[in-house]
A and B are shown apart, each in its own frame.
Chain A
Amino acid sequence: DVKVTQSSRYLVKRTGEKVFLECVQDMDHENMFWYRQDPGLGLRLIYFSYDVKMKEKGDIPEGYSVSREKKERFSLILESASTNQTSMYLCASSLDLNGYTFGSGTRLTVV
Chain B
Amino acid sequence: RKEVEQDPGPFNVPEGATVAFNCTYSNSASQSFFWYRQDCRKEPKLLMSVYSSGNEDGRFTAQLNRASQYISLLIRDSKLSDSATYLCVAGDTGGFKTIFGAGTRLFVKA
How many A-B residue contacts, CB cutoff 8 Å? 50
| B87 touches A (CB below 8 Å) | yes
The answer on a CB contact under 8 Å between A43 and B100 is yes
Those of B54-110 within 8 Å (CB) of chain A: 87, 91, 94-103
Known: A42-B100, A98-B32. A104 touches B95 (CB 8 A): no
Known: A31-B96, A97-B96. A40 touches B32 (CB 8 A): no
Known: A97-B91, A98-B32, A98-B49. A42 touches B102 (CB 8 A): yes
Smallest beta-carbon distance B84→chain A, Å: 14
Interface size on B, residues (CB 8 A): 23
Known: A43-B87, A97-B91. A102 touches B45 (CB 8 A): yes
Dominant secondary structure of chain A at its interface with chain B: strand
Q: Which residues of B contact A58 (CB under 8 A)?
A: 97
28 A-B contact pairs sorted by A residue (CB < 8 Å): A33-B96, A40-B8, A41-B102, A42-B2, A42-B4, A42-B100, A42-B101, A42-B102, A42-B103, A43-B87, A45-B97, A48-B96, A48-B97, A50-B96, A56-B96, A59-B97, A90-B44, A97-B91, A97-B94, A98-B32, A98-B49, A99-B46, A99-B49, A101-B46, A102-B43, A103-B43, A104-B43, A105-B43
Could you list which residues of chain B lie within 8 angstroms of chain A, going by C-beta atoms? 2, 4, 8, 32, 34, 42-46, 49, 87, 91, 94-103
